[in-house]
Amino acid sequence: MPQLPYPFTRHTTRRRLLGLGQWLLAGAVLPQAPRAFASVPEARSLSFHHTHTGERLALVYALNDQFVPEALFSLNHFLRDHYSGAIGSMDPQLFNLLHLVRQELGTQQPFEVISGYRSPATNDTLRSTRGGGVAKHSLHMVGKAIDVRLPGVPLTELRDAALSLRQGGVGFYPSEQFVHLDTGPVRRW
């Protein structure tokens, strides 16, 4: 397991966090790197498999109370509009929500991503071809929504865990096999 270049405390400076960029980017490439940060206090990690692109990503996205800029960049790229390739800016609080959901469920399984960022053009196209199943002012267009499932976790349990957190919107789509999570107002459908 790689050694961290210096110890972390509750008062770790932003400069030190930014200096770890090479270590954190390794988390997107090396599967063992996120585990190396497991012992770092307040390290928050996520892992994903994108169902449309086939890509996988595992990384530490936050240390203590700071989001890691390099990790956010990687997440923005990973959650890009898979139809057009457009990259949006995802709300970092969405990653905290996903982290909390996994904690609530007691799993470390990677999220299977159905949809992350969606460009306005893609949203309009999907609205006109999906029979009304796509919101005109979708939070996907502003990086505040994601559609996911967790292998081995029933969709009802994923939905219920998200609802219990009361951190945003939760949509349940059993026939499409996903749960929509967003950082908008607390609501359900």
Model pLDDT for residues 57-115, shown as the tens digit of each residue: 999 999 998 999 999 999 999 999 999 999 999 999 999 999 999 999 999 999 999 99
Say what the pLDDT of residue 40 is: 66
Query: Nearest to residue 82, comparing CAs of 51, 48, 128?
Result: 51
Structure tokens at 131: 């029979």
User: What CA–CA distance (Å, rounded) separates 28 from 40?
Assistant: 17
β partners of residue 148: 113, 179
Between 37 and 146, the more confident residue is 146
Structure tokens at 172: 């349940």
| Low-confidence winner among 34-38, 48-52, 59-63 (lowest mean pLDDT) | 34-38
Q: Give the SS3 label for residue 79.
A: coil
Is the pLDDT score of 44 beyond 90?
yes
CB 108 within 8 A of CB 95: no
Residues 6+ apart with CB under 8 A from 135: 127
Say what the pLDDT of residue 9 is: 42
Say what the pLDDT of residue 82 is: 96
Would you give the DSSP letter of residue 110? Answer: P
CA distances 122 to 17, 125, 181, Å, are 36, 5, 19
